[in-house]
Amino acid sequence: MTPEQFVAGLPKAELHMHIEGSIEPAQFLRLAQRNGVAIRWQTQEELRAAYSFTNLQDFLDLYYDGCRVLVQPQDFHDVTRDYLRRALADHVLHAEMFLGVQGHTSRGVPLTAVMEGVLSAMEAARVEDAISSGVIVVVQRHRSEHEALALLDALRPWYDRLLGFGLGGAEMGNPPSKFSVFFRRCRERGFNVVAHAGEEGPAAYVREAVELLQVQRLDHGNACLDDPALVAQLAQARIPLTVCPLSNLKLRLVPSLAAHPLRKLMDAGLCVTVNSDDPSYFGGYVNENYLACQRALGLERDDMVSLALNSFEAAFITREQRLAAFRAIDAWVAHSEQEAVA
């Protein structure tokens, strides 16, 4: 069994994927036409050519501009449903997706259109494909904490259908501490909490996310390696990191995948997971991230199994779901070993 075949059948969870970052060029053009949105590109080739970034802000400028094609509930439904179909094709059993609500409501899209579109697609995927999923609303760190708190209150009608809240956007100049009250309110209301930290920001931002925001999971977290004491703390507390290798490469945060810190994070005993972040922009869904790291970093089959096991350990799922996923991984490993003998 080749690495491609092994990864293709390996059960996994994806925990770091932005719904708006999964709009493929063909769908982007269709949505723009459907909603009468003027865009700068006329063909898929032109659009893909624009996916060349020098830093995170460069990407975010295009990303936020691209969100304009999402207008109606059906738009949010279609994008979410398409991603979940694609995730299932990668043998993702459970997906936790980020949703940047503020980027839509700030341009006049009703909150109901965003939420009902996404949630209806998640339910359809559960019924039709038996893939479980959850949505984590991400507040944008370049906006104010006051705006984040207002959004928290506005989302009350959907509380029982939300998995949690997170923090995203350009890190520099927007430390996690800026949102300490917001995260305390989220925790008080019983929500899971996560935060992007240590992607382009320093290890100090990772520490703030852990100690001030008290996050259960770190999105990216690469910079923690600059603080050995923090690494030890993360390993001991078993706080997961949702790492996105192809994203880091595309945004030039690493010079090559061979230089990516994934192996160092794993060797440090951290609960590391591999994810796609914004797959249509960064040229790879979750399996492509696994395989790219396998080739560049020399990951063995056991390493890939560990990453898959970690993804379910880190997921916000029930104990029964977690144990079922572990059994599915064990069954796939046993099958692959039988194939090797045959």
List, by residue number, the catalytic residues. Answer: 199
Instruction: Specify the residue for token string 């059993």.
Output: 93
CA 68, 72, 73, 78 dihedral sign is negative
> What region, left, alpha or beta, does residue 298 occupy, with left being phi > 0 and alpha being psi -120 to 50 degrees?
left
Select from 177, 115, 107 the least CA-distant residue to 141. 177
Distance separating alpha carbons of residues 252 and 233, to the nearest angstrom: 28
Per the DSSP assignment, residues forming a β-bridge with 18 are 98
> Tokens in use for 283?
């040229």
Q: Which residues contact 287 (CB under 8 A, 6 or more apart)?
A: 7, 8, 90, 91
CB contact burial 126-155 (16+ within 10 A = b; e otherwise): eeeeebbbbbbbbbbbebebeebbebbeeb
CA distances 194 to 28, 80, 152, 314, Å, are 28, 21, 15, 11
Reading the block at residue 86, the tokens are 């694609």
